[in-house]
Amino acid sequence: MFSESRFSDLTESLASGFFADKVVLAIARFQKSRTLNPSDELLLEEAVQFFKKVIEGHDWMDNPRLSKNSMESATAFSQAVRARSPHVSSKNFVDYIQDLLNTANQLLQQKTADQNKIAILREFFSNYGRSELVRTENLLQDDRLEIFQ
């Protein structure tokens, strides 16, 4: 049996991975039909909120304060760093996230968005899903972590 903190980490990682996969599918459906169904709108709203937390998490490093929101933002920032495209430097990271946020907002408003930017948004969430899968596998396989019997 896993310790409570390890089980919590697994739950968070799995939920994040499923969220990323659902967003990838929502973007793919938009790319095909150029419209959003209501459930996809909800996913893109979550994506917008995620990117806002990422930016808050970045800002948190300069002005740390402990609260539930700041911890969520720091976690989102960490997840986004793991999922970023390899060509994005740390110097350009905030601009990259802001572009993803703007693209997600454009899709949410069902406006025409640049196809290249939509592809970059989809790539981000695909990377995000893969990074969470790796994280989940590492949590499951790490023999150094305590398992209670």
Classify 2 as helix, strand or coil.
Answer: strand
- Pick from 7-21, 54-68, 102-116, 117-131: least confident: 54-68
Q: Calculate what percentage of the chain has a pLDDT beyond 70.
A: 85
Domain map of the chain by residue range? 4-141
Contact 138, 13 (CB under 8 A): no
Residue 72 has which token pair? 């969520």
Classify 147 as helix, strand or coil.
Answer: strand
Residue 117 has which token pair? 């930017």
Band (pLDDT 50/70/90 cuts) for residue 2 is: low
CA 30 to each of CA 51, 112, 124, 140: distance values in angstroms, whole numbers, following the listed order:
19, 11, 16, 34
Out of 16-25, 66-75, 107-116, 136-145, give the one with best mean pLDDT.
16-25
pTM across the whole model:
0.82
Classify 118 as helix, strand or coil.
Answer: helix
Question: What are the tens digits of pLDDT across the range 47-97?
Answer: 999 999 999 888 766 666 655 567 788 888 878 888 888 787 778 898 999
Question: How confident is the model at residue 143, as a pLDDT?
Answer: 58
- Tell me the mean pLDDT in the region 120-142: 88
Is pLDDT of 31 > 70? Answer: yes
- Tell me the mean pLDDT in the region 128-142: 85
Classify 84 as helix, strand or coil.
Answer: coil
What is the C-alpha to C-alpha distance for residues 4 and 45, in angstroms, rounded to an integer?
30
Question: How confident is the model at residue 149, as a pLDDT?
Answer: 43
